[in-house]
Amino acid sequence: MGRRIVKAGLAAGAALVLAACGGGSDPATGAGAGGTGGGGGSEAGQDGAAKTTSLAQPDSLTVAFCQTLDNGGGGKAYQVILRSFAAKDGAFAGERTTALPPDAEPITGCDDDGPSYRVNTAFNKDLTLVAGLVDGDRAAAFDLATGHEVGAPDPDSFTKRPKNGGVAFHPVTGRLWYDLQSHDFQSTDPLGSRDPKGGLKTEESTPFAKIPDLLEQDGPTADTALATDGIHAVTVPDGGVVATSTTDNGLHLSRVDRGDDGEGSGVGAGAFLGDLATVGLDEDNKVFCEPAFWRNATTLVCDFKQLTFSADYKKLLKTEDLVPENDRVNGQPVLSPDGKSFAFLSKGEDGRRGLFRGDFSGGEPKKITSVDPPVADEDNLRTTLIRWN
């Protein structure tokens, strides 16, 4: 599981000026249509308060839209739009629309990065900042109200900073994490973290040999460390056991493995993961799904399957479907704060997306609201449910 290859730097160009919603549908219209309620948002989309209210209101669902555009200089520019909806009735709760600088790229959830996994770690816990790379090799955080970088380094200083290939927000502490590549080749580099608004003066470094301690500390910390290595993973709540998936081999579980010399067998945080031999996930019983979250230490939700493992993870005991078999296009589920429900985006035959809510009994999910694109340019728009706040 090697370190993700650093993307080529984006060409700098003139700043992109974008309308707040790009001429798309009114957010209040999308919030109310087809949901179980949603009428409470009928005026919110026109109200200036919707642009300043917190997007991370308790019991709300936040959807991210990322639009990729040609910046006119041969590179790409990005517009990030977040919208929050009440989980109970789909009422429109708030919005941010941000055009990032032309040399900046969100770390995930936009173009050419495969399925929109790990998008949760691209945003801080208050949904006020988005993580990205500047010129393809410097970790940064951008204010979702202004698009400006926060905690940027001194532009006049004569220093040489390590390059960064991956960056992620810790979902609990809110610190910005990134890899520290001191060389122009893959090596056993440390991880760095800082208060995004405090800048480099708050930076702390974790040596490569200490990365296993992070993977065993707790689930959110392990997931953040692995995200800096470009690895989509979900870790059990207490840390130490990780679920990942590959195209060829499907779902597999790994345990933290320090290696005989205590320093792993590769580069990046993924060097410290050793595959577990789990009956039911072996060569003859491959399970193809992308891990979404652990409900507890032995119950994993992977796409829309609930898998229960033995306490030692050596055997898959039971597999249950969480939604009926269907022909819809369904996004990854997110877990409710109370752990009793899940929500997801789903597209039907009419091409429209909706927010749906399900429970763990396996019944048919219930629609919360419709989610229409905020811009007309859907070919260059990626839509992802970030989290249930």
Q: For residue range 146-166, what is the model confidence (pLDDT) as tens digits? A: 999 999 988 888 888 899 989
What is the average pLDDT across 359-367? 89
So what's the pLDDT on residue 20? 36
So what's the pLDDT on residue 49? 64
So what's the pLDDT on residue 363? 81
pLDDT of 118-148, one tens digit each?
A: 688 999 999 999 999 999 899 999 999 999 9
Is residue 179's pLDDT more than 50?
yes
Per the CB < 8 A criterion, the answer to whether 225 and 191 are in contact is yes
pLDDT of 311-349, one tens digit each?
A: 999 999 999 999 999 999 999 999 999 999 999 999 998
So what's the pLDDT on residue 36? 39
Q: Where in the chain are the domains?
A: 27-154+161-388
What is the average pLDDT across 222-249? 93
Could you identify the residue written with the tokens 């600088």? 101
Summarize the chain as % helix, strand, coil (round to 5): 15, 35, 50
So what's the pLDDT on residue 174? 95
So what's the pLDDT on residue 185? 59
DSSP string, 48-89: GGGGTS-TT-TTEEEEEEEEEEE-SSSSEEEEEEEEEEETTT
What is the average pLDDT across 53-76? 89
Does residue 284 or residue 309 have the better pLDDT? 309
So what's the pLDDT on residue 184? 59
So what's the pLDDT on residue 116? 53
Is residue 26's pLDDT more than 70?
no
The pTM (predicted TM-score) of the whole model is: 0.84
